[in-house]
Amino acid sequence: MHGYATQFINFLAAVLLALSFAMLSQRRILSLIHLYTLQGVALVLANLILGFVTGDAHLYVSAGLTLVLKVGVIPWILYRLVRRLDVQTDVEPLINIPTTMLIGIVLVIIAFNVASPISQLATSVAHGTLGIALACVLLSFMAMITRAKAIPQVIGFLSMENGLFFAATAATNGMPMIVELGIGLDVLVGLLILGVFMFQIREQFDSLDIHHIEKLKDE
């Protein structure tokens, strides 16, 4: 049973990595939200499998929390922001897509080399996926810094948090429940604040380009 569970978790890790690469090449904001939601679904499944294998009840609660926040509430807020701000497409990335993908491959290689000695010390059923989890974090960070618009950057940040969440799951069978609740609340509050911030940028400059942040700071 553990062997099948490990294989399925490895498959989910590969799905997360593929979704992270898809985010790097995606230009439509709605598609980015869809990809983020799929990441949430993969995290829910990973927590359910680990909960079944380890018998740890808190992993089921973690799966439920992830389902509510990352598959339900946060994507719904993002959809509302896109609709209210009337933003459907992203501008050209700061780096062209082929170069971005090549850099992404290099980041994956670095992540696997860094995580290799750490994963050997981990005791989780999913310890073999730690390298993929770290790669997802780096790819999401790159997706965040190579976009000029505010909403894609927020989605990149949220995706990076997904990678960190999966890394904690891969290394230690999940974080303590109080930590997960705290992080979930922080992410939700942060997203609401960023939403208000985006409306302020749009109202003053009729654009969501992050270069206007300096102008807001000066004012």
Inter-CA distances, 173 with 53, 184, 190, Å: 10, 17, 26
pLDDT at residue number 126: 58
How many structural domains does the chain have?
1
CA-based nearest residue to 34, from 79, 90, 91, 86: 79
Average pLDDT for 103-132: 78
Read off the pLDDT of each residue in 98-105 and give the average, rounded to a whole number: 88
Mean pLDDT of 194-214: 54
Residue bearing the bigger pLDDT, 40 or 7: 40
pLDDT average, residue stretch 38-66: 84
Alpha-carbon distances, residue 182 vs 65, 112, 190, 204 (angstroms) = 11, 29, 12, 33
Residue 72: closest CA among 102, 36, 19: 36
Q: What is the mean pLDDT of the chain?
A: 76
- What pLDDT score does 35 carry? 92
Complete DSSP assignment for 43-88: HHHHHHHHHHHH--HHHHHHHHHHIIIIIIIHHHHHHHHHHHHT--
Secondary structure class of 96 (helix, strand, coil): coil
Percentage of the chain beyond pLDDT 70 is 68
Q: Which carries the bigger pLDDT value, residue 116 or residue 121?
A: 116
Q: Coil, helix or strand for 75?
A: helix
Chain mean position to CA 19 = 9
Residue 39 is predicted with a pLDDT of 92
Q: How confident is the model at residue 216 (pLDDT cuts 50, 70, 90)?
A: very low
Task: Look at residue 34 in the predicted model and tell me its pLDDT.
Answer: 92
pTM score, two decimals? 0.79
Domain with 24, as residue range(s), is: 2-218
Q: Are 183 and 161 in contact (CB under 8 A)?
A: yes
Half-sphere exposure of residue 163, counting CA atoms within 13 Å on the CB side? 28
- Over residues 119-136, the mean pLDDT reads 72
> Residue 140: which of 166, 177, 170 has the closest Cα?
166
Residue 180 has pLDDT above 90, yes or no: no
The two structure tokens encoding residue 139 = 């790819």
Query: What does the alpha-carbon distance between residue 92 and residue 111 come to, in Å, rounded to a whole number?
Result: 27
Contact (CB, 8 A) for 170 and 115: no
68 to 7, 65, 75, 108, 136: CA distances (angstroms) = 26, 5, 10, 30, 22
